[in-house]
Amino acid sequence: MGLILGIETSCDETAAAVVEDGRRILSSIVSSQVAVHAPFGGVVPELASRHHIENVCPVIEAALAEAKVGLADLEAVAVTQGPGLVGSLLVGVQVAKALALVHRQPLVPVHHVAGHVQAAFLAHGEIPLPALALVVSGGHTSLYAVPEEGVHHLLGRTRDDAAGEAFDKVAKLLGLGYPGGPAIDRLSEDADDRAVAFTIARIKDGTADFSFSGIKTAVLLHVRREGIAPVDDPAEVPPRIRDLVASFQRAVVAALVRGLERGAKTHRPRSLIVTGGVAANSRLRRESAAAAERLGLPLFVPPLSLTTDNAAMIAAAGFLHLETGRLAGLDLNADPNLRL
Q: Which residues bind ligand KG4 (CB under 6 A)?
A: 11, 137-139, 164, 167-168, 179-182, 185, 276-278, 280-281, 308-309
Length of the chain: 340
Q: In whole angstroms, how close is the CB of 113 to Zn ion at the nearest point?
A: 8
Determine which helix (DSSP H) or strand (DSSP E) holds 80, and give its type and residue range.
Answer: strand 76-82
Q: In whole angstroms, how close is the CB of 135 to Zn ion at the nearest point?
A: 8
SS percent in the chain: helix, strand, coil, step 5? 45, 20, 35
Q: In whole angstroms, how close is the CB of 265 to ligand KG4 at the nearest point?
A: 25
Q: Of 119 and 255, which CB lies nearer to Zn ion in the complex structure? A: 119
Q: In whole angstroms, how close is the CB of 272 to Zn ion at the nearest point?
A: 19
Q: Of 20 and 243, which CB lies nearer to ligand KG4 in the complex structure? A: 243
Give the Å distances, CA to CA, from 84 to 5, 142, 187, 329.
Answer: 20, 15, 29, 21
- Rounded CA-CA distance 137/275 in Å is 8
Q: Of 64 and 279, which CB lies nearer to ligand KG4 in the complex structure? A: 279
- Which residues touch 217 (CB under 8 Å, ≥6 apart)? none
Give the Å distances, CA to CA, from 283 to 4, 172, 188, 196.
Answer: 34, 20, 9, 17
- Binding-site member from 149, 168, 185, 309 for Zn ion (CB under 5 A): 309
Binding mask 131-170 for Zn ion (x = CB under 5 A): ------x---------------------------------
Q: Of 121 and 198, which CB lies nearer to Zn ion in the complex structure? A: 121
181 binds, among ligand KG4, Zn ion, none (CB under 5 to 8 A by kind): ligand KG4
- Rounded CA-CA distance 182/158 in Å is 21
